[in-house]
Amino acid sequence: MPLPLEHHVPLAPRTTLELGGAAKHLIDVSNEHTLIDALRWAEGENSPVLVLAGGSNLVIGDEGWDGVVLQISMRGIEHECTGDRVRVRVAAGEPWDELVAHTVAQGWAGLECLSGIPGSAGATPIQNVGAYGQEVADVITAVHLWDRRSEQRRVVSKDACGFGYRDSIFKREPDSVVVLAIELELHIGGEPTLRYGELSRSFEGRNSPTIARVRDRVLELRRGKSMVIDPDDPNRRSAGSFFTNPIVTRDVAEHVVAQARRHGVERDVPQYPVDDQHVKIPAAWLIEASGSRKGERHGAVGLSTRHALAIVHHGGGKTSQLVEFARVLADRVQQRFGVQLRPEPVFAGVRW
Ligand code: EPU
């Protein structure tokens, strides 16, 4: 079978930010054989490889990708029930939210809080996607991948994935593996997870909600923050959270509190304990408390009107403008609070 090879393919329409140049070559990878052939072809051409799936967490440079883009499109969901548990194997190219909707409809608990997240299933272990009190590390049992160094298929058990907050071994070595499939264990007829304050508060004083009700509520919350893809939403072109929430020592957190007081910031500093010595401070709060405003615009990019952690492209812009604006936001935070923000999306063909 010849490789499904295309040339000079615009990448902007394949990302939720709708920014960036073209791929020199693009190969649609719908099965493992194509993946292996595509990687060999890229090596023969001495071309760098970029693995692209849903494009929802990706910033592509204005010059595009001077190499081969592998568009991951393997599909398939299989499951096996044992007692009150179900093991689900999901191919990397499955759209994540369709998977969540499917599992919730079956009454399988474990993914309900991860509703409405754009992107594909295979991308979720890389940065350990999390939201509203759940993260994929809670339910993943194994990741099937192609190891580009040994040129072999490998199955990595959950404990070997090195999961942390928005982190995994795969994120630290982005060029060495391609995720083929993930395996999850869900709870048949299980209770929903109500751990995130904003979510659990909406059910206070009521009977325990079903997982379907929790999915609906999470979708409502996300919609209110423009964090679901809606063609009519003016904030729709984004990569979700643009920065991770910094984890700082308690000393640094005290400095943040003192600086906030000095600058007359009205809202208290939100802090979430991580361990005895560290707390997490929401990057959205730091951005607003350092003087940036929701809806603030810099040409064709700006801050979402609904959430201070989403940088939005209004159309007709450039990646360079987006990165410049993101740096302005990060510099304001650094100057006022001495805290460094780190971008959450993957950067390709452009540096942070
Ligand atoms: N906040 C502000 N201004 C805003 C929004 C939020 O000051 O405009 C402050 C508030 O104090 C709020 C706190 O930030 O209580 C937390 O906000 P939110 O609950 O919206 O969550 P987040 O920390 O901004 C994280 C994830 C999201 C995930 C939500 C819900 C990261 C980087 N982001 O956002 O994930 O949906 O929690 O669990 O951890 C993503 O990764 O792309 C993403 C959207």
As a whole number of angstroms, the distance between CA 287 and CA 297 comes to 14
Nearest CA, atom 6, ligand 1: 284
Q: Which of 54, 58, 51, 65 is nearest to 21 (CA)?
A: 65
For CA atoms 134, 162, 15, 315, the dihedral sign is positive
Nearest CA, atom 32, ligand 1: 244
pLDDT > 80? residue 276: yes
User: Residue 238 C-alpha to ligand 1 middle, in angstroms?
Assistant: 14
Instruction: Match 């499939």 to its residue by tokens.
Output: 181
* Pocket flag, ligand 1, residue 303 (CB < 6 Å): no
Beta bridge partners, 88, equal 79, 184
Can you say how many angstroms the Cα of residue 285 is from the centroid of all Cα atoms in its chain? 19
Interacting residues of 173 by C-beta distance below 8 A, sequence separation 6+: none
Catalytic residue at 166? yes
How buried is 179 (Cβ within 10 angstroms: 0-12 exposed, 13-18 middle, 19+ buried)? buried
Ligand 1 atom having least distance to the Cα of 196: 38
The β-bridge relationship of strands 152-157 and 140-147 is antiparallel
96 close to 54: Cβ distance less than 8 angstroms: yes
Can you say how many angstroms the Cα of residue 120 is from the centroid of all Cα atoms in its chain? 10
Q: Which of 50, 58, 46 is nearest to 26 (CA)?
A: 50
pLDDT tens for each residue of 307-350: 999 999 999 999 999 999 999 999 999 999 999 999 999 999 99
Q: Which of 226, 238, 241, 292 is catalytic?
A: 241
Can you say how many angstroms the Cα of residue 15 is from the centroid of all Cα atoms in its chain? 12
Identify the DSSP state of 176: T
Instruction: Report the interhelical angle of 211-224 vs 96-106 (nearest 10°).
Output: 150
Question: How many residues are listed for the chain in this entry?
Answer: 352
pLDDT > 80? residue 1: no
User: Residue 190 C-alpha to ligand 1 middle, in angstroms?
Assistant: 26
Identify the DSSP state of 13: G
CA atoms within a 13 Å half-sphere pointing along the CA-CB vector of 96:
24
As a whole number of angstroms, the distance between CA 140 and CA 96 comes to 14
pLDDT tens for each residue of 59-117: 999 999 999 999 999 999 999 999 999 999 999 999 999 999 999 999 999 999 999 99
- From the CB of residue 2, how many other CB atoms can be counted at a distance below 10 Å? 5
- Residue 2: pLDDT band (50, 70, 90) is confident
CA atoms within a 13 Å half-sphere pointing along the CA-CB vector of 346:
23
pLDDT tens for each residue of 16-43: 999 999 999 999 999 999 999 999 999 9
* Pocket flag, ligand 1, residue 282 (CB < 6 Å): yes
* Pocket flag, ligand 1, residue 147 (CB < 6 Å): no
Reported pTM: 0.96
* Pocket flag, ligand 1, residue 286 (CB < 6 Å): no
Long-range Cβ pairs for the range 164-167 (8 Å, 24+): 164/128, 165/128, 165/130, 165/244, 165/245, 165/247, 165/274, 165/280, 166/127, 166/128, 166/130, 166/244, 166/344, 167/127, 167/128
pLDDT tens for each residue of 139-185: 999 999 999 999 999 999 999 999 999 999 999 988 899 999 999 99
Q: Which of 75, 154, 166, 236 is catalytic?
A: 166
Q: Which pLDDT score is estimated for 188? A: 98
Q: Which of 65, 69, 50 is nearest to 19 (CA)?
A: 65
pLDDT > 90? residue 232: yes
281 close to 245: Cβ distance less than 8 angstroms: yes
- In degrees and rounded to multiples of 5, residue 7 shows phi and psi of -125, 150
